[in-house]
Structure 1
Amino acid sequence: MTREFDVVQLDVHHLRVMRAIADTGSLSRAAIALGVTQPAVSAQLKRLENMLGYQLFDRGEGGVTPTPMGELLLRRIAALLPQLDNLLEDIEQRVCPSGPPDVVRVVAVASALVARLPSLVTRLWPEVSEVQVVHDDHPERLLPLLAQRRAELGLVKDYPGHELEIPASVDTAVVVTEPTFVLLPEFHPLAHKEIIDLSELRDESWVMVSDSSATTFTRYFTETCARHGFSPSVSHQVTSQQVALLVVRAGAIGLSQPICDPRNLGLVTRPLRGDVLPRRHILAWNRETFVAGRQAELLAAVVEAYWAEARTAPVYARYLDSRGPRPDDG
């Protein structure tokens, strides 16, 4: 008897599910690869098998293997999917305008620049009606969103020796390499100094933010202290910078971005001699989106915004003045 089914119902998603199951050897791993739940993969496979009237995979304790009909379909999928992907890409390039979308999505780690991003984007692209900023202190989760075109812009940070892994489709530019400042209670004996040697803090009690997003910086900090001949005593591990400020006010030592100025909280920030803990602010975008055509203008605007914000922090402003004019000061 001839089996009949509506071939129109066989869509690209079915093909991707089939390939993911075959590539990973299990429904659970296929679900992870596709970014969906295992029940969703199981339901998709069941619908496809019902539609075709054939079992496509044999289930076993060690995973799944394609049936003869499954192997036949997979051979066709291997030839068909690349062509479909190219077709969809061609359609997207024709349907999507070269200019920005109505809603621009920005992904960013915590920094003083984040609040300036919406007005900066709408100034450069007046046709943008809304800017949505997604905050996440895990840059390794943000950069893939740019690669997948789920966001248009990114602002992240990294550290020397701990550089970020950049997806192939993403371009980046360094906004600024800035120092890390030390954070002290205003009654601390070193608070009167204009600049502090890291080695002077070898016997201090430190507070560090301990969530997973700070793991890289903590390792970077510990390695830097080791090069200065000591292992820091991190006696306070907190979940946010706000809590860290309270602990510093009680007598511990912390670290801070130089633009942050907690002078109204009974605290002071001071630069470290030799700029021993530099960090980079990095602008990122997908090179195949509208951003690529005006990335130089965008970068210039972000750099300008950074230095304007830097001048609002008195200690950082004095530090910058002591270093002389920047190359972009004219």
Structure 2
Amino acid sequence: MTKEFDVVQLDVHHLRVIRAIADTGSLTRAAIALGITQPAVSAQLKRLENMLGYQLFERRENGVTPTPMGELLLRRTAALLPQLDKLLEDIEQRVCPSGPPEVVRVAAVASALVAHLPSLVTRLWPEVSEAAVVHDDHPERLLSLLAQRRVEVGLVKDYPGHELEVPANVDTAVVAIEPTFVLLPEFHPLAHKEIIDLGELRDEPWVMVSDSSAATFTKYFADTCARHGFSPSVTHQVTSQQVALLVVRAGAAGLAQPICDPRNLGIVSRPLSGDVLLRRHILAWNRDTFVTARQEELTAALIDTYWREALDSPVYAGYLASRGEFGPRPGDG
């Protein structure tokens, strides 16, 4: 009797947790997908397993996999969860106030703008007590969280020819279009040049971040090199930009956003000639939330913040001055 009573205590939050764990194969990645912390996912899974009296996932070195009981639960709830989510969404749209929640959830990829976004949100909406940031370098996943109203604001990036597919209920605004800079060790023969042609680097060993979130940029980089008549030799694949900087200092060539200036690490940052390897920083929000009413103000504040950061970066500021650019390019919108 007790176990039967416990089973009916299953709710939509439990179902979302086990679905996210199964889809991502990791408690950490499930936490990112859900917009909560990894300890919270672990605690919810433990409570659910204790409630049911069964282990639902086997923990392994490279992630987790469902147990037979976990697979049974996932199969039985596969059709139920989307229906519950739709029901809750319909109810939320009818009963939730039009103003912001007390805690606004912000989902963002890595960029110099991320650190400023919480303060901009609380400045525009003083009734917000906190803006909690979830970092995830998979922009498609962040847009999905916005579409499902699991976060309120998103900051993503995309590249020419590799534009993001935006959900129908999500609106976007371009904050900035920026170049990619090349990173070289101080002793490199090209380090003295103010601007470098990508073709001059055809024989260089390259270091690239190799996790799955960088797959789009890696393809974009390879396609761009092909248009310049060569295939890059990626001799180092690392898991973070911090490790990449160490490899560059030892002799490899790397790539970075222009605001990032590692000059104190024995590394020089140089622009590439021509508009190659451009990227867009994009603000995104669900059009059915409070953000819509003041999105123009938020976009303008982010644009202003971006250009203040850009002009504080000596190499990037010099590059912008040489091109006569001190603000958003035409069409940034």
TM-score bracket for the superposition, by shorter chain length: 0.7 to 0.9
What is the alpha-carbon distance in structure 1 between the residues aligned to residue 295 and residue 189 of structure 2? Answer: 46
Q: 1:91 to 1:214 in 2, by over 3 A?
A: closer
**What is residue 297 of structure 2 aligned with on the other side?**
297
1:12, distance to aligned residue in structure 2 (A): 10
Is 1:168 the equivalent of 2:168? yes
Amino acid at match of 2:247: V
Provide the rounded CA distance (Å) in 2 between the counterparts of 1:90 and 1:144: 17
2:266, 2:177 → 1: CA distance? Answer: 28
Distance 1:43 1:114, change over 3 A: closer
Displacement of 1:214: 0.7
Query: Which residue matches 1:315?
Result: 315
Length-normalised TM-score, structure 1: 0.75
Distance 1:287 1:185, change over 3 A: same
- Structure 2, unaligned runs of 5 or more: 1-7, 24-33, 35-44, 46-55, 57-65
Q: Is the 8 A contact 2:303 2:328 kept in 1?
A: no
CA distance in 2, matches of 1:126, 1:284: 20
Shift of 1:327: 5.7
Are the aligned partners of 1:147 and 1:167 in contact in 2 as well (CA < 8 Å)? yes
Q: How far off is 1:170 after superposition?
A: 0.6
**2: distance between equivalents of 1:328 and 1:285?**
21
Shift of 1:96: 1.5
**Contact (CA 8 Å) 1:180, 1:275: kept in 2 or not?**
no
Correspondence for 1:71:
none
Q: Which residue of 1 aligns with 2:246?
A: 246
Give the deviation of 1:41 after TM superposition. Answer: 8.3
1:19-40 C-alpha deviation (Å, 9 max, x unpaired):
xxxxxxxxx9xx86xx997847
Query: Over alpha carbons, which structure has the higher Rg?
Result: 1
Per the alignment, do residues 328 and 108 of structure 1 end up closer, same or farther by CA in structure 2, a change over 3 Å counting? Answer: closer
1:1-330 matches, cutoff 5 A? 39=69, 42=72, 91-326=91-326
Aligned residue pairs: how many? 271
TM-aligned CA distance change 1:103 to 1:191, over 3 Å: same
Report how far residue 275 of structure 1 moved.
2.1
Contact 2:224 2:276 in 1 (8 A): yes
Deviation at residue 92 of structure 1 after TM alignment: 2.4
> Do 1:181 and 1:256's aligned partners in 2 also have CA atoms closer than 8 Å?
yes
Structure 1 unmatched runs, 5+? 1-8, 18-27, 49-73
Change in Cα spacing, 1:213 to 1:327, as seen in structure 2 (3 Å) is: closer
1:154–1:285: 8 Å Cα contact kept in structure 2?
A: yes
- Tell me by how many angstroms 1:211 deviates: 0.8
Paired residues of 1:108 and 1:137 also in contact (CA < 8 A):
yes
The TM-score with structure 2 as length reference comes to 0.74
For the 8 Å contact 2:307–2:326, the answer to whether it is kept is: no
C-alpha displacement at 1:213, in angstroms?
0.7
SS of structure 2 residue aligned to 1:319? helix
Distance in 2, Cα, partners of 1:128 & 1:274: 43
Other-structure match for 2:38 = none
CA drift at 1:97: 1.6
| Residue 20 (structure 1) aligns with | none
- For structure 1, which segment, 152-161 or 304-313, has the greater mean C-alpha deviation from structure 2 after superposition? 304-313
Aligned Cα root-mean-square deviation (Å): 3.0
